Amino acid sequence: MPETAAILAWTLQQEIPTPDDVQQLLVEGEQPVASFKTFRDSATFTTKRLIVRDAQGITGKKVEIHSLPYSSIYMWSSENAGGMLDRDAEVELWTKAGHVKVKLTKGADVRRIDSLLAWAVLSNH
């Protein structure tokens, strides 16, 4: 039976301009498409992958970077907020590496994320 517990969990907040330091992570021909604020850093959809930067420690100088190529995503699901009391939405990704859970706060549009994933996974880049 496949593992269903998430190996990673990220929370995306509102859409932001692409952070300047993301440019140094890109390969030739790769372009940023959309970025979102996370709890302590950012997540950026590019033309090739999802880059999640996670500042760590008290000062935030230590940074962990997750790079998820779109080619590794087998399936995803999205769940929108159900009503006034249910303010958060969620996206789940099934990848070659395992299951990733992405929570979206009120400032992140679940349909925008769903559309970005569809464009990224289903398009030939």
Residue 12's closest CA among 47, 54, 46? 54
Mean residue pLDDT across the chain: 87
pLDDT on residue 4: 58
CA angle 82/91/58 to nearest 5° reads 110
pLDDT tens string 82-118: 655 556 799 999 999 899 999 998 888 899 999 999 9
pLDDT on residue 1: 39
CA 90/CA 102 separation, integer angstroms: 6
Query: Which stretch of DSSP H or E encloses residue 112?
Result: helix 110-122
pTM over 0.75: yes
**Going from the N-terminus, what domains does the chain have, and what CATH number goes with each?**
8-122 (2.30.29.50)
Where the chain has pLDDT below 50, the residues are 1
pLDDT on residue 56: 77
